Chain A
């Protein structure tokens, strides 16, 4: 036992000695030279396609900024870390980015669970963090250094409920949600509440988990309840197949969804089974407005594929941050935070972004109809207290910031 104790003591002392540093000195701040921004996301795990997509948007934005001369004359550098989609690792990499790499701000994460784990670190260290797509309301409640550029679940869920009840005149709705996804559950909760408040009735509720091959069991049950519409607030990977299998079962009711549907693979998986379905989104990749088309073209040129909702949000998150840095004229935590908090009518690809007092993005949502591999604009639904006049964005065509992600 003594030998064990001594050897363990040796190992521990070694570790502690390696880690040693002086404490209590003044912190060094970098006020010249490259601006280092940290990005964290799932780059190697189950949801790495989300993390990679968002990263691509962020990198493209950073490149554009640098090509245009940088911010206040300084170049931007993105340092990205992989959290494998695990909350514990998210907190670890954020600690590393703040502590070791001395980043001035953080971008991430996609999944609310991971953001919630990491945000307290940013808040504690007074480093502003902008989440591109975490939609759970709790995220920005962590503290005043945490922002987001996407919708929160309460808003988006309500949007579809309004559309279903008011425009489609649906009385009965069924729901098919992704059980493990906080995004899906959040949207479901608020859709349900809003739809019933508008006089509708939820006739059946089914859930699936990512990785399920077969949805016919749930769809058959839904079919017997004869709903007018079916709300499927999930991700494109599963939704495409759900639409297909629903068609095979002869279900005629239209499917409704959120921005999690937005990706090219959706069409590959669902094909024409998707025709006649609707989604709420923040923008449409088919929007003819020049700003959006330029974004799509640039993205296509750089990555040889069309951007999905997450890439667009990553892009906007970086741009909002850049705007904040420019306005603040410095990268000091407090000043930067205040500058970002004042973001008003920022013209992003995902809509006109204004951050409210809770640091959530306030932007209208568009409802789009899916037809023949295209998204066709239906209508715009505004948040409370916002109307068509207050929008400064190009009119009519698809415009709607959306809170994608989970």
Chain B
């Protein structure tokens, strides 16, 4: 039983990270119907931004809660700027082009970010400074939860609630919802759609960066290619929950995290090797798209001709 609880905790932990990243995918898709391939790399950029902030500002010396807060916020700001820059220079000029063009551009941006980092920083993994005094709390039996896991839960829940508040209780949020509903009508209503789109990218990127810094507390290994697989799984999470649907992204993230952990933990008993861990996410994606393309919480949108 305690193993089960342990796996549950582990699954929810990585699920929370997927949820944070998935939110970015789902928001951008809701507004632009664009899959931002480069979003996973923003997660990586956030982690590295945090790394450089922590080392440059001298927090690498020892655990410091203040340091953690500063690094987290700093990384989120930097990532938000990067996200907005990408939108402004790579996506905006081609917004009206065919879907394939934007998709290829997105892939191009993703590769550009990854390869620039590898070229400049090397592919070797680095150790993210430990900003949290690590400690394990035993729940019962062998089940334990670590401080970093608690941190991940706490911060993600906080950020998600913050996002909810922004979207439903502020003018900007209402504008975002309007734009995702129908961009042209929103434009006609006097909303500065370009700015709203930028804000969306900024928010999504900030969340992904938070995910990056938080993961780095849990697993300090960061490298320029860490965003690829994680980003893809987060995308699957967004689709699972219903792309364009915000609570769906959270639900999807947690489900993918749990599915993955349980396949790894128990899959062997049913003959599934742990190396199929990544394939789990893809398999789920394919199943969802086959049987319920609108996702768990999404609604089917009729295509008008």
Contacts and interface: CB of A to CB of B under 8 A. Distances in A.
Direct A–B contact present (CB less than 8 angstroms): yes
Contacts of A52: 122, 124
B127 A268 contact: yes
Contacts of B7: 216-217, 220
B219 interface: yes
B13 to A, nearest CB: 8
Contacts of B146: 248
Contact of A214 (B14, B220, B273): B14
Contact of A250 (B11, B17, B136, B260): B136
B123 interface: yes
Interface stretch (B85-93, B95-103, B223-231, B290-298): B223-231
B268 interface: yes
A241 interface: yes
B201 interface: no
Instruction: Tell me what chain A mostly uses at the interface: helix, strand, loop, or mixed.
Output: helix
Given A248-B134, A250-B144, A211 B14 contact: no
B224 to A, nearest CB: 9
B123 A211 contact: no
B277 interface: yes
A305 to B, nearest CB: 10
B221 A237 contact: yes
A48 B115 CA distance: 11
B49 to A, nearest CB: 18
Nearest to A269: B127
Nearest to A42: B123
B133 to A, nearest CB: 12
Given A44-B119, A207-B274, A237-B125, A220 B265 contact: yes
B198 interface: no
Contacts of A245: 219
A237 B223 contact: yes
Contacts of A248: 134, 136, 144, 146
Q: Indicate the member of A49, A206, A217 with the most B CB atoms within 10 Å.
A: A217
A208 B261 CA distance: 12
Interface string A370-399: 000000000000000000000000000000
A11 B180 CA distance: 49
Which of A47, A221, A245 counts the most chain B CB atoms within 10 A?
A221
Nearest to B147: A248
Chain B CB count within 10 A is highest, among A208, A236, A249, for: A249
Interface in A252-273: 265, 268-269, 271
B264 interface: yes
B187 interface: no
B127 A265 contact: yes
Nearest to A308: B124
A209 B278 contact: yes
Interface string B50-86: 0000000000000000000000000000000000000
A220 B3 contact: yes
B215 interface: yes
A221 B144 CA distance: 14
B122 to A, nearest CB: 6
A240 B274 contact: no
B122 A48 contact: yes
B10 interface: yes
Interface residues on B, range: 35 or more
B130 to A, nearest CB: 8
A236 B260 CA distance: 24
Contacts of B260: 217
Given A214-B261, A220-B3, A250-B136, A241 B220 contact: yes
B221 A269 contact: yes
Contacts of A271: 130
A217 B10 contact: yes
Contacts of A238: 221
Nearest to B221: A241
A45 B123 contact: yes
A224 B3 contact: yes
Interface string B143-154: 010100000000
B235 interface: no
B6 interface: yes
A212 B280 CA distance: 13
Interface in A1-50: 44-49
B302 interface: no
Contacts of A217: 7, 10-11, 260-262, 264-265, 274
Question: Of residues B3, B124, B229, which shows the largest number of chain A Cβ atoms within 10 Å of its Cβ?
Answer: B124
A209 B275 CA distance: 7
A230 to B, nearest CB: 15
B220 A213 contact: no
B273 A207 contact: yes
A244 B125 CA distance: 15
B225 A218 contact: no
A245 B225 CA distance: 21
Contacts of A179: 273-275
B33 interface: no
A248 B17 CA distance: 19
Interface string B111-142: 00001001100111111001000101010001
Interface in A186-241: 206-209, 211-214, 216-218, 220-221, 223-224, 236-238, 240-241
A253 to B, nearest CB: 14
A207 B275 contact: yes
A268 B126 contact: yes
A245 B268 CA distance: 21
B25 interface: no
A190 B120 CA distance: 38
Given A180-B275, A241-B220, 8 more contacts: A209-B278, A212-B277, A214-B14, A221-B265, A237-B124, A237-B223, A249-B136, A265-B125
6 contacts: A209-B277, A214-B261, A216-B7, A216-B10, A241-B220, A271-B130
Interface of A: 44-49, 52, 179-180, 206-209, 211-214, 216-218, 220-221, 223-224, 236-238, 240-241, 244-245, 248-250, 265, 268-269, 271
